[in-house]
Structure 1
């Protein structure tokens, strides 16, 4: 489709140059018509792509289906590497963790930091960072491995 549009635009340019060279301004309208046809083809292609994308997206689950399939969904999430939820961190835990130099791991271009033992990580390539630095960079804690709660518990036990 893009090739057809390119040919139409080149033809429109050729007709426009020809109309100027032979001093026939009426032919310039043919150039406008070819350009409009090319634009219409681009719009049609865009509409088709949007319909294909919306028809291929999965339908949202109802509440009853979500309750029945929660275990299966957790397994699917790990397999597909859907982003885990953010850990609901207590303010006291967040304060302890933000001052800590304990190491957590992050996945490039993902918003969560994890414990190295997190099951969600699977075989993803990870980078180790101090938890203080991970928080400064805007990473948030994973709800599956709960790094803030675990690290805060370790800090309290060490006192």
Structure 2
């Protein structure tokens, strides 16, 4: 998707330069159209990723994650692998960076989570404000997507 957007932006630049060089200002509208199309593709991709992240968060199915019964160990719980880091966009990071909403952390682990994160299982957790978790160097869990969830909550309050 990013390659398509890059191609569209380069094409828009090429059309704009060409319109100036051959003195055809009406062609500059084609450049604007290509730029708007590239922006629309980026927005669509962002919403697609958000939807994927929210569908993999806990509570998305009545039985728990991936059809497991509650309390049943997941593969990454069994072998103790760390979940990936959430791909947080700058707007969401700004919204949650000063937030006092509580997240949970596991001692000696780099991620912070929502309290209902399936990765936590029976691990001992400590609650703290997301602002403090970020200051201490913790990063958001991709599995429960706390930054996206808390940013959405902050937007709903506004």
TM-score using structure 2 length: 0.53
Q: Deviations over 1:85-118 (max 9, x none)?
A: 0000010000000010000000000000000000
Give the paired residue count.
87
Q: Please give the secondary structure, in 2, of the residue aligned with 1:121.
A: coil
Unpaired stretches in structure 2, ≥5 consecutive residues: 1-65, 67-72
TM-score using structure 1 length: 0.53
Tell me which structure has the larger Cα radius of gyration: 1
State the superposition RMSD in angstroms.
1.4
Q: What is the match of residue 33 of structure 1?
A: none
Q: What is the match of residue 75 of structure 2?
A: 76
Q: What is the match of residue 118 of structure 1?
A: 117
Distance 1:107 1:75 in 2: 17
Pick the structure with more helix per residue: 1
CA contact (8 A) 1:81 1:120 kept: no
CA contact (8 A) 1:98 1:131 kept: yes
Q: Please give the secondary structure, in 1, of the residue aligned with 2:82.
A: coil
Higher relative contact order (CA 8 A, sep 6+): 2
Unpaired stretches in structure 1, ≥5 consecutive residues: 1-70
Q: Deviations over 1:100-147 (max 9, x none)?
A: 000000000000000000000000000000000000000000000000
Distance 2:105 2:133 in 1: 8
